[in-house]
Chain A
Amino acid sequence: MSQIVRLRITRPHNQTSRLKHRLNAFACADGNDRAQVNGLTAVLKCVDATILPRALTVATETGDTLRLLVSNRRLMRVERDGEMTQDGDAPADPAEAAARFAERLEPVLRKAGQVTIGTARYTTDALFWDVGCGAGRLAALMGVILHNDIDAPAAVDPELLLSEHALARVELSASGRVLSRSSTTRAEPLLEVLLQHVLRDGAGDAVLAGQREDCSCIPLTPKYDAIVIHRRDGQTLAVTPSAIRDHLLSGWQKHSANPAGWGSGTRH
């Protein structure tokens, strides 16, 4: 998945500090004219670092251009070669927005060998009613690891990984009651099958929490896994990008060994 891209960052003025820091980091990485950076990841990291309204212009060596309107760390619109993804019918659902944006971003950025990122201010009035989507949701949808901190598997909190990357997720109590549920329309049927199976064993008997503690992963496609986590106090079912599999498994092992770790945080 990872590709070698040549990064050229234009030096904009008056950026927010987070975005400035991010662009400077890329520029430093480009000191040898080559950086082991995935163009898609670089763009998503810039989105995640943009607080104030900015238009990010992304140009590739093949001549493709993208204009991303970003505000409050959310991607609001994507223009490809001057064509807007949406005019007046902005998705009301972040998952739908992410799916639309991914369709625009992936064909251009997956094949990019060189990415030039520039920024400019814009006014937010036109986007006032847009929902947009966070970079984390986009990264999860495209199977991209967004944050460098998950390069150190042992340090990852599985709760954090799931909240940031899961495409769909259900939290069950010890008695099997659904505590929370979130998913995209596409993942909903899959979640339903997971629920029905996990609440009943192979013989059709009810499965109670606490019978075992483990974290199971069933690869569904090369990009996505089904995850079932059994805890003393309940179960978690999720659909996650395969890219986070090893981090999730090792993170679960580490945090399950610590009673104050997994399960002590806030669940969404």
Chain B
Amino acid sequence: MTVSEQLDALRADIPGCVLAAFGDVAAQLVLRSSADSPWSQEKLDDLCRTGARQFALSDALTGFRAAPEGMREAIVATRRDVRVFVAAPAPAGDILCCVCRSSAQTGQVVHKARTALSELMGREQ
């Protein structure tokens, strides 16, 4: 399965998910995405910047996190959607983002995103 196909499968597996994107948090760049309608590159870049900000905060809170060496997670609610970010353990910069219409069951979205990112990282190795 290609990265795009994996993102399609992830989006299909999460009810109300309008975008699944895979990128690099350090470069703040979306490499692949799957969406129900086209997203401009500016919007994708903005999404990645939001993720980078969240993980900078997450890293600042390292001493308080249960598993600082593991995957990092962040959830951002905007007026229109909820964005779930999952990042690979440092120093890897892989990041996966799911944009959902609803804030219900964010725990399940995080779990599925973590699983998908693990598979994508496995492909790279």
Residues of A within 8 A of B (CB): 153, 189-190, 193-194, 196-198, 201-202, 213-222, 226, 228, 245-246, 249-250, 252-253, 256-257
Contact = CB atoms under 8 A, between A and B. Distances in A.
Interface string B105-119: 111001000000000
B89 to A, nearest CB: 15
The 10 closest A-B pairs by CB, nearest first: A249-B103, A221-B66, A250-B103, A249-B77, A217-B75, A215-B77, A197-B60, A202-B56, A216-B76, A190-B64
A250 B104 CA distance: 8
A253 B77 contact: yes
B54 A246 contact: no
A201 B110 CA distance: 25
Contacts of B66: 220-222
A89 B76 CA distance: 44
B103 A213 contact: no
B73 A246 contact: no
A111 to B, nearest CB: 22
B52 interface: yes
B106 to A, nearest CB: 6
B57 A197 contact: yes
Given A221-B66, A249-B82, A216 B103 contact: no
Q: Which has the most chain B C-beta neighbours within 10 Å: A215, A219, A257? A: A219
B57 A246 contact: no
Contacts of A197: 56-57, 60-61
A157 B113 CA distance: 28
For the complex, would chain B's binding face be called helix, strand, loop or mixed by DSSP majority? Answer: mixed
Q: Which has the most chain A C-beta neighbours within 10 Å: B56, B77, B82? A: B77
A142 to B, nearest CB: 17
Contact of A249 (B52, B53, B106): B106
A226 B58 CA distance: 9
Nearest to A229: B77
Interface in B85-125: 102-107, 110
A228 B54 CA distance: 10
Contact of A218 (B52, B54, B102, B105): B54
A253 B80 CA distance: 8
B65 to A, nearest CB: 5
A253 B103 contact: yes
Contacts of B110: 219
Q: Which has the most chain A C-beta neighbours within 10 Å: B54, B57, B66, B73? A: B57
Contact of A201 (B53, B61, B102): B53
B43 interface: no
B79 A250 contact: no
Contacts of A213: 78-79
Interface in B60-74: 60-61, 63-66, 73-74
A153 B57 CA distance: 27
B71 to A, nearest CB: 10
